[in-house]
Amino acid sequence: MKSMKISEAVVRRLPIYLRFLNELNRMNVTTVSSQDLGSKLDLNPAQIRKDLAYFGEFGKKGIGYDVKYLIEKIRQILKLDQRIQVALVGAGNLGRALCNYNAYLQDNMKIVAVFDAEKSKIGQNMNNLTVLPMSELTDTIRELQIRIGIITVPASEAQNVADRFVEAGIEAILNFAPVIIKVPPHIRVHHADFTTDLQSLAYYLNKEEEA
Amino acid sequence: MKSMKISEAVVRRLPIYLRFLNELNRMNVTTVSSQDLGSKLDLNPAQIRKDLAYFGEFGKKGIGYDVKYLIEKIRQILKLDQRIQVALVGAGNLGRALCNYNAYLQDNMKIVAVFDAEKSKIGQNMNNLTVLPMSELTDTIRELQIRIGIITVPASEAQNVADRFVEAGIEAILNFAPVIIKVPPHIRVHHADFTTDLQSLAYYLNKEEEA
DNA sequence: TAGATTGTTAATCGATTAACAATC
DNA sequence: TAGATTGTTAATCGATTAACAATC
């Protein structure tokens, strides 16, 4: 059923499927079973079949999934078959690192504009992009039809940047700042905070290693 | 009950509580209710109370939680009251960015060694650390009692690095490379892959913005 | 045909939320 | 005491997994 609402967990797995399918495709593998996918990605095969079945009948009983066809379908589902322009605010080390990942992103998705509030950063070159002042944010986002915003500024500035993004009409935000940002309900926010990741890892360490 | 197993979702929320509690503490707020926490962090108050109750009775009925006391308790739970040394492999832009986050990490947790396979990177300075060759990885991890490893190398190298970490006795890994890595069951791995984050965000964009 | 694997239903498992007695 | 808020149980909601008929 096209119109039932899909859980976030399912959506988060789709890019992982896609990445491995692309790898298989590069290796000229033409067909893959949910079994194969599951063992490679550490997921239950039934879960993979169910995830995909939310969107259509992509497989063939007794055979599995056609790699190229499934890639095409997942790209459509994730809207990666459209051009998706991304803006980044915060031209520090992290921002620079992410800009360099442009190559890793799916062809149509690209960081196309970088902004910073600090005078010293403006005009700098970052992976072929020139760092722009915040005053140009709104116009640039509208002109380039930028739909996703990335925040890599310090925590104290993150909410301000989010507000600017929302005002400029961005539809989704990926926030790397270590703070929860508030946005209107129609805007999607993902938090990608490496400090909380690392701190939760500590929980799983063994008791006290050191004396 | 101390010995019941705690769900991953709970553990992932603890650092978020901790971060906000630290902020309250800096602002000299001494007491906080699950209500307050919930509205600030966009979480259900009942969930917060339940999360905390897994570990003990930290609150006072009719009053709420003592900020300083709760900070202390969560730090204990997450083992952030111990010194936790972290190693990072991959001295590229992302690695450099993460090293600079050292200040953001909870006092006792620190990146204390950086490695890279490329000759040109070795000897470089990264936030007061000298980039070391891979040949020194095992010895350094043992000598400095490093317990967590961060992977910021290209996808093709990530599994190799993970294997080296495991062999050297690391207990947990935070992997930034866009690939699923395999480790023995006693090693904890978190994946912090920004490309899949961004791709799943695309799903939530509105239909077709452009013509 | 025999073997393999999907799509899907039913069963299980787990996580979130509501409700409220206990009590500060 | 009256009001507030916890800790916890029960109810709800949602996600994962098992099982299997359909079928390539």
pLDDT of residue B102: 76
Distinct helix (H) and strand (E) counts, chain A? 8, 10
Q: What is the pLDDT of residue A206?
A: 83
| Phi, psi dihedral angles at A174 (to 5 degrees) | -110, 115
Q: Is A56 labelled a binding residue? A: no
Query: Which chain B residues in 113-152 sit with Cβ < 7 A of strand C?
Result: none
Q: How far apart are CA B173 and CA B190, in angstroms?
A: 6
The CA-based angle B97-B185-B151, given to 5 degrees, is 15
User: Which residues of chain B form CATH 1.10.10.10?
Assistant: 8-77
Q: What are phi and psi of A39, to 5 degrees?
A: -70, -35
Task: Tell whether residue A90 is among the known ligand binding residues.
Answer: yes
For residue A148, give the nearest of B12, B78, B201 by CB distance: B201
Q: What is the pLDDT at residue A2? A: 41
Q: Are B81 and A207 in contact (CB under 8 A)?
A: no
Mean pLDDT to the nearest integer, A181-203: 94
Establish whether the CB of B53 is closer than 7 Å to any nucleic acid atom in strand C.
no
Q: pLDDT band at residue A157, thresholds of 50, 70 and 90? A: very high
Q: What is each CA distance from A23 to A26, A27, A36, in whole angstroms?
A: 5, 6, 13
Q: Could you say which nucleotides of strand D lie within 7 A of any protein CB atom? A: 3-9, 14-19, 21-24
Give the per-residue pLDDT at B107.
Answer: 75
- CA dihedral angle for residue A101, residue A106, residue A109, residue A110, rounded to 10 degrees: 30
Stronger pLDDT, A128 or A150, i.e. the higher one:
A150
Inter-residue contact A204 to B171 (CB < 8 Å): yes
Closest C-alpha among B27, B23, B44, B24 to residue B35? B44
CA angle B10, B16, B19 (to 5 degrees): 145
Q: B194 CA to D9 C1', in Å?
A: 40
Give A50-61 pLDDT, tens digit per residue.
999 999 999 999
Instruction: Write the CA distances from A181 to A10, A88, B23, B35, integer angstroms.
Output: 24, 16, 15, 18
Q: B76 CB near a chain A CB, below 8 Å?
A: no
Quick check: A64 and A36 in contact, CB under 8 A?
Answer: yes
Residue A144 has pLDDT above 60, yes or no: yes
Q: Do the Cβ atoms of B112 and B85 come closer than 8 Å?
A: yes
Backbone angles phi, psi at A15, to 5 degrees: -65, -25
Interface mutation vs chain B, best among A48, A203, A206, most B CBs within 10 Å:
A203
Check residue A102 and give its pLDDT: 76
* Shortest CA to C1' contact from B8: nucleotide: C15
Q: Which residues contact A200 (CB under 8 A, 6 or more apart)?
A: B11, B12, B14, B15, B78, B190
> How far apart are the C-alpha atoms of B71 and A14, rounded to whole Å?
37
Angstrom distance, B62 CA to D9 C1': 19
Q: What is the pLDDT of residues A19-31, one digit of tens each?
A: 999 999 999 999 9
Contact between chains at A96 and B92 (C-beta distance less than 8 A): no
Nearest Cα neighbor of A43 from A62, A64, A5, A17 is A17
B15 part of contact set with chain A, CB < 8 Å:
yes
pLDDT tier at A208 (50, 70, 90 boundaries)?
low
Q: Among all strands, which nt has the closest C1' to A31 (CA)?
A: C5
- For the beta carbon of residue B159, count every other beta carbon within 10 angstroms: 18
| pLDDT, averaged across chain A | 93
> If you compute the radius of gyration of chain A from its CA atoms, what whole number of angstroms results?
20
Residue A43 counted as an annotated binding residue: no
Can you give the pLDDT at residue A92? 94
Assigned token pair, B52: 């905390």
Q: Which residues 55-74 of chain A have a CB under 7 Å from nucleic chain D?
A: 60-63
Report which of B51, B45, B89 is spatially closest to residue B70, judged by C-alpha positions: B51
Q: Look at domain A84-197 and name its CATH class.
A: alpha beta
Please say whether the structural domain B8-77 has been given the CATH code 1.10.10.10. yes
- State, as a whole number of angstroms, the distance between the CA of A110 and the C1' of C15: 36
Q: Which residues pair with B173 in a beta bridge?
A: B149, B189
What is the pLDDT at residue A110? 93
- Within chain A, all domains assigned CATH 3.40.50.720 are found at 84-197
B93 is in an annotated binding site: yes
Separation between the CA of B141 and the C1’ of D17 (whole angstroms): 39
| Helical ranges in chain B per DSSP H | 8-26, 34-41, 45-53, 67-77, 93-99, 137-143, 155-168, 194-203
What integer pLDDT is reported at residue A101 of this predicted model? 82
User: Residue A179: which residues within 8 A CB-CB, separation 6 or more?
Assistant: A155, A158, A159, B19
Q: What is the pLDDT of residue A42?
A: 95
| Other beta carbons less than 10 A from residue A159's beta carbon | 18
> Residue A111's beta-bridge partner residues?
A86
pLDDT of residue A179: 95
Tell which residue, A68, A82, A73, A77, has the closest CA to residue A25: A68
What tens-digit pLDDT sequence spans chain B (211 residues)? 345 689 999 999 999 999 999 999 999 999 999 999 999 999 999 999 999 999 999 999 999 999 999 999 999 999 999 999 999 999 999 999 999 887 667 678 999 999 999 999 999 999 899 999 999 999 999 999 999 999 999 999 999 999 999 999 999 999 999 999 999 999 999 999 999 999 999 999 987 644 3
Of A96, A104, A202, nearest to B93 by CB-CB distance is: A96
Kind of pairing, strands B59-60 and B64-66? antiparallel
Q: Indicate the helix (H) or strand (E) that contains A53.
A: helix A45-53
Which of the pair, B21 or A102, is modelled with greater confidence?
A: B21
